[in-house]
Amino acid sequence: MSRKREFWARISYVNCPEANCEYKTKVRRLLIWHLTVTHEYSVEKAREKANETGIYCPPEHTMYMREWITRGDNREKHRKATYKHWQANREHYKSNSKTYSATHREQTRLSAKRYQEQHLEKHVASEKRYASKYPEKIVGHRIAKKIPLGSECEFCGATKKLEHGHIDYAYPDIVLTVCHLCNVWMNKGV
């Protein structure tokens, strides 16, 4: 029997005091294992340390936070605190988002598709609002779909992420082949 298995057998009776939560029990046992092996604590000392450590159960905590947010003005407090944290750690959030999107492209695409299917009415209403607000853009996009794309961007020469770009939607048949960045630059009107 390995050292780890012996250890697990010895501490298997450690339970979460709150409704015998399986998650907390596992985490507490892992913490005790880590303290005894890595930091050479005695089992008793490790157990004391594990009991001092605030291990919370994610499902329980999530339910508590959902209830807390709905009470009184907590929603606004939570929104402000979240926004403040995001402002302070903006670059970290952006880099994490980019790396996750890059490594989980298919999962991200499927998630977006699932969301769109679940909220179809909202999506259709949004498209109708856009069409009523910018009818000239809708016409321009329909015409542009029929025109084949060129092989490179007409501004910078890029060959990836090519799109149709309209100089002026009043003339929907005048379309350029541009990369995404140049199209954003054109639309900003710089």
Domain locations along the chain: 3-55, 135-188
Q: What are the E-state strand segments in 110-181?
A: 162-166, 175-179
- Which of the two residues, 121 and 29, has the higher pLDDT score? 121
Q: Looking at residue 24, what is its pLDDT?
A: 62
User: Residue 93 has what pLDDT?
Assistant: 85
pLDDT of residue 156: 87
Single pTM value for the model: 0.44
Q: Is the pLDDT of residue 121 over 50?
A: yes
User: Of all residues in the chain, what percent carry a pLDDT higher than 70?
Assistant: 77
State the pLDDT at residue 29: 72
Q: Strand 175-179 relative to strand 162-166: parallel, antiparallel, unpaired? A: antiparallel
Sign of CA dihedral 43, 48, 54, 58: positive
Has residue 21 got a pLDDT over 90? Answer: no
Higher pLDDT, 71 or 115: 115
Tens digit of pLDDT for each residue in 60-104?
667 777 787 778 788 888 888 889 988 998 888 888 888 888 888
At 57, the pLDDT band (50, 70, 90 cuts) reads low
How far apart, in Å, do the first and last CA atoms of the chain sit?
71
Average pLDDT in the chain:
79
User: Backbone phi, then psi, for 50, in 5-degree steps?
Assistant: -65, -35
Long-range contacts at 5-13 (CB < 8 A, ≥ 24 apart) = 7/33, 7/36, 7/37, 8/33, 10/43, 11/43, 11/47
Most confidently predicted of 32-46, 56-70, 133-147: 133-147
What is the pLDDT, as a whole number, of residue 15? 43
- Token pair 């954003």 in the structure block, residue: 184
Local structure of 163: helix, strand or coil: strand
